Structure 1
Amino acid sequence: MTTTPASQPARPLGLDDITVIDDSKLKKAVTAAALGNAMEWFDFGVYGFVAFALGKVFFPDASPAVQTIAALGTFSVPFLVRPLGGVFFGLMGDRFGRQKVLSLTIIIMAISTFCIGLIPAYATIGLWAPILLLLCKLAQGFSVGGEYTGAAIFVAEYAPDRRRGFLGSWLDFGSIAGFVMGAGLVVVLQTILGEARFLDWGWRVPFFVAGPLGLLGLYLRHAAEETPAFTQQLERMEQGDRDAIKERPGVSFREIFTRYRKALLICIGMVLVTNITYYMLLTYLPTYLSSSLGYSEAHGVLIIIVVMIGMLFVQPVVGFVSDKVGRKPFLLIGSVGLFFLALPAFKMIGTDNTGMIFLGLLVLAVLLNCLTGVMASTLPALFPTRIRYSALASSFNIAIILAGLTPTVAAWLVESTQDLMIPAYYLMAAALIGLTTSFFLPETANRPLRGDTPNASSRQEARVLLQQAYEHIEQNVEEVDERILALEEQIEKLRQRRQTLVDQHPRLD
């Protein structure tokens, strides 16, 4: 719903105020966002699945366990610069538009990923090898700081209100697909080349694939148009709307952290539970299966690939159902499920039975789907258009710092304690965060983004949304009237109390 400042007379909301989304533009927007996100997670997937190889190539003098921790540590360190990228790209996205920023982030991501494949081994250039690897990962971390949040906003601002959950779910569909592509390519290369040639040069091939993927993603994003919500914001400013100019992008982060504190905390909580589970399942577990449980790399990766393929089918279903029953139930189900089922799942994973391992991973995967299926449609709805990118990118990447440490901390804890259930306890702690967040999360399904007018798929749907908007306004008016009545009663009681006190004093009137 649009907000009307107190200094400007309100006008009735009409049918023309509801944006009817062009279907062809919508498809371009979703495809461009999802493909770029797939490329981002293609790299993360590849890195997680070849961590054992990178440890041997870039940290050859360390023990196998330390090699793995060092390689995963290089994966985690870039998360420290993601908030900087979030602030930078968030401000740019709120000032210059979502489409331009997303084109820039995918360029940086593609180049830095491609360059990882060019880095010589430690045996060739010594200490410069891990340093260059870290620099490339830092560049990736900076670009990713604005990637996911920008893509989520891009899809959310394009999506009709009644389909935002389904359309937003395709963003993380792209993430999972990127993991599948990365893992599948690693398995194929290991099978064809053998371990020796894969360690020699085969590990570089997946990173080179980022080049053409980046060009394709850049083409699609450049072809997509700016979102209707941001376009309307610009039009209001260009027309000289004093209030729109007053609320132009440029809001201080101090204001964001004070005025929108609740939304920021909800975002941080939801990102933590979702991404800790994400990195535990899709980045750390391949290493856990091989380093801690003794399975061959190919065997562990193959099981997880099958699980991820199953996740691809569940992901849009969760998004679709969330448009019917809401987002909150899925956050609640995912969090409660993790708390009670993480330990049994890891006990099944720890057996020598392939079927039990698959079942344990499947339980975690379905619970992860409950979280990822609603995240992209929920988070953008927490903030208004003028600060949406800045606020979401900042809070998202603050949480990502902690979530991104998951593979490294889990590997270190398992190595230090020799307790193979540490990852389960880790997920249970994350589940408590998600459970707490679910109680404070406002329901956003089938409602306009905060501060925006409704989006519809057709003129007929726009009429229905307009009627629902009127009903929502009537409900808000009734709530305001009730608050006014309650305040009037409190004021009258205070007046009576004052008069009683005055009556007891000879010189007060």
Structure 2
Amino acid sequence: MSTPTRNSPRPPRADGKDRFTRDQRRALLGASVGNTIEFYDFTVYGVLAVYIGQHFFPEAEPSVQLLSSFAVFGLAFLARPIGSIILGPLADRIGRKPVLIMALSGIALASFGIGILPTYETIGILAPIALVALRFLQGLSAGGEYGSGSTFMAEYSPRGRRGLGVVWIVVSTTAGVLLGTLTVTGLTLVMGTAGMADWGWRIPFILALPLGLIGWYIRQKIDESPEFQMMEATEQKTKSPLTESLKMWQNMLIIFGIGAMHATAYYSVFTYMPTYIGVVNGHGQEIALVSNIVTGLVSIGVIIAAAVWSDRVGRKTVLLVGAGTYVLIAWPAYAIVPMLNAWGAIGVHILLGASVAVFMGASAVIMTELFPAKIRASGMSLGYNIPAAVFGGGAPFVATFLIAQTGITSSAAWYVMAIAVLALVSATVLNPKKHLYDDSELAEEYEKVIAEEQSDGSLQHVVVDADGDRVSADGAAGAAGVPGTEAGAGSPVDVPPRLEAEVEQALEDVDVSRRRALD
């Protein structure tokens, strides 16, 4: 049985004002930075798809080059379910933190490999084969990142503010998109389109290695998630988390619908829409990149606001508003872009991004709440990555294919609209009381274990204090509720060696705890 730590879970405050502690903010930042770097790697491939098609599929027509490049982009999504099957259960068995480190390492190395990969002109057919292999490795790693990262953030957030806590997985994803887009934009301004097409496209991929090392260092410094520590303390880990998650078939069906919209709409807006504006409608690569940057910045604000809203009114309402709005505006938005100038096209891009952001403000957290802690990483990883692979990764390819087959540019919207309808159905059948978990039962079991290990109650509040924020150091009398004794004053107690570090930290904080209790 593991020793409780300073970051062990705590019950919600009685006044309902859950807040993020310093340790929680540090953990969320660490997970966010790593995720930003991972999605930077993913983004640069999508933004540079035109150049990659020219170098690895040079004998094809331009439209076929673009299709081939996006097909390889989608291949990484097909690898995601495999990654989720491997890494999701691993996160439920050995911890969220080591899996997050493994995922980051894999995707950074794969991106660096693409940056130094010889082209078709140099090694022939081996070039696209190697490209496919590296993209597969990226997808394999990403299959463990999003589910484990979302789980990690959910378990580090106060229960009353999990929407705001988990939304940083989406914000950091969007930040990665912006970082990748800004990098490509800056290089394009310095080197020009010809220079980027020649060899400049390699630079963003090569930068993935030093960025990955930064993310690796940050993730090494953060602690394991509180709920996982609780599961170890209460011996509630399961040997077959993947099998148990599959038995929850209703929750799996709900997450499939929500995850399909989450992935498809996001990649349509931030990966395909720049191509739609820049290539299909002829506004140029520079305008497309600027549009992606502005849309990303606006979307971050909308995502955070939607997450806070979901903590107040519930996830279901926010999901219905986001998906419903997208269904209504997607086709008119795609149809009007060919009639607009560059600034008008950017405005439409922003509108689509904002509607998707509303949905994602609730979708990220609700996918973690559909499963209990002991199978959360497995259920969320598999439940999200299957629809992400089937629907999300192929969104740019399907949109390009529809336009090529129909000759109707607005047909690119049909596919995502159908997925949004599926998400509406999933959100409608969702029953929060029946389908969602808040880990309260696990917390209760954990408190019983603490009480059992300190039968006299003397050290019970070393882990969880009355204020619900960090720890305090109650003595034997105070903790036991002896009349006339002030809690926290207590009397001398024997401290077990394994808890000495916790007690020392608690004593440092006791004055702060007392002041807060009197406020």
After TM superposition, give the deviation of residue 288 of structure 1 in Å: 1.7
Q: Deviations over 1:63-109 (max 9, x none)?
A: 11000000011100121221111011012111101011111111111
Write the mapping of 1:114-193 to structure 2, written as runs, cut at 5 A: 114-193=112-191
In structure 2, the partner of 1:376 is: 364
8 Å Cα contact 2:150/2:368 also seen in 1: yes
* Equivalent position to 1:413, from 390, 402, 413: 402
8 Å Cα contact 2:369/2:436 also seen in 1: no
Tell me how large the CA RMSD over aligned residues is: 2.3
Q: Deviations over 1:443-494 (max 9, x none)?
A: 38997247533899984468xxxxxxxxxxxxxxxxxxxxxxxxxxxxxxxx
In structure 1, the partner of 2:11 is: 18
8 Å Cα contact 2:10/2:468 also seen in 1: no
The CA distance in 2 between the partners of 1:106 and 1:367, in whole Å, is 29
Write the mapping of 1:86-485 to structure 2, written as runs, cut at 5 A: 86-237=84-235, 244=236, 248-251=237-240, 253-258=242-247, 260-402=248-390, 403-443=392-432, 448-449=438-439, 451-453=441-443, 459-460=466-467
8 Å Cα contact 2:273/2:349 also seen in 1: no
The CA distance in 2 between the partners of 1:106 and 1:227, in whole Å, is 17
Q: Deviations over 1:162-200 (max 9, x none)?
A: 111112111111111111111111111111112222112
Question: Which amino acid in structure 2 is aligned with residue 376 of structure 1?
Answer: A
8 Å Cα contact 1:23/1:457 also seen in 2: no
Q: Please give the secondary structure, in 1, of the residue aligned with 2:339.
A: coil
8 Å Cα contact 1:348/1:359 also seen in 2: no
The CA distance in 2 between the partners of 1:84 and 1:379, in whole Å, is 19
Q: Deviations over 1:349-369 (max 9, x none)?
A: 222323321221122111111
Q: Please give the secondary structure, in 2, of the residue aligned with 1:452.
A: helix
Write the mapping of 1:48-59 to structure 2, written as runs, cut at 5 A: 48-59=46-57
Q: Please give the secondary structure, in 2, of the residue aligned with 1:383.
A: coil
The CA distance in 2 between the partners of 1:96 and 1:305, in whole Å, is 38
After TM superposition, give the deviation of residue 304 of structure 1 in Å: 2.1
Q: Please give the secondary structure, in 2, of the residue aligned with 1:162.
A: helix
The CA distance in 2 between the partners of 1:358 and 1:290, in whole Å, is 11
Question: Which amino acid in structure 1 is aligned with residue 286 of structure 2?
Answer: A
Give the aligned length: 437
Question: Which amino acid in structure 2 is aligned with residue 408 of structure 1?
Answer: F
After TM superposition, give the deviation of residue 37 of structure 1 in Å: 1.6
In structure 2, the partner of 1:40 is: 38
Question: Which amino acid in structure 2 is aligned with residue 87 of structure 1?
Answer: I
After TM superposition, give the deviation of residue 301 of structure 1 in Å: 1.7
The CA distance in 1 between the partners of 2:379 and 2:360, in whole Å, is 20
8 Å Cα contact 1:348/1:356 also seen in 2: no
8 Å Cα contact 1:330/1:374 also seen in 2: yes
Q: Deviations over 1:407-449 (max 9, x none)?
A: 1111111112111111221122011111101112233899724
Q: Please give the secondary structure, in 2, of the residue aligned with 1:120.
A: coil
Q: Please give the secondary structure, in 2, of the residue aligned with 1:434.
A: helix
After TM superposition, give the deviation of residue 253 of structure 1 in Å: 4.2
After TM superposition, give the deviation of residue 23 of structure 1 in Å: 1.7
Identity of aligned residues (%): 32
The CA distance in 1 between the partners of 2:269 and 2:258, in whole Å, is 17
**Structure 2 gap ranges (5+):** 1-8, 14-18, 447-462, 470-519
After TM superposition, give the deviation of residue 282 of structure 1 in Å: 0.6
8 Å Cα contact 2:119/2:127 also seen in 1: yes
After TM superposition, give the deviation of residue 255 of structure 1 in Å: 4.0
The CA distance in 1 between the partners of 2:337 and 2:136, in whole Å, is 33
8 Å Cα contact 1:51/1:287 also seen in 2: no
Mean Cα deviation higher: 347-356 or 73-82 = 347-356
Q: Deviations over 1:108-129 (max 9, x none)?
A: 1111111110001111111111
Question: Which amino acid in structure 2 is aligned with residue 421 of structure 1?
Answer: S
- TM-score, normalised by the number of residues in structure 1: 0.82
8 Å Cα contact 1:161/1:446 also seen in 2: no
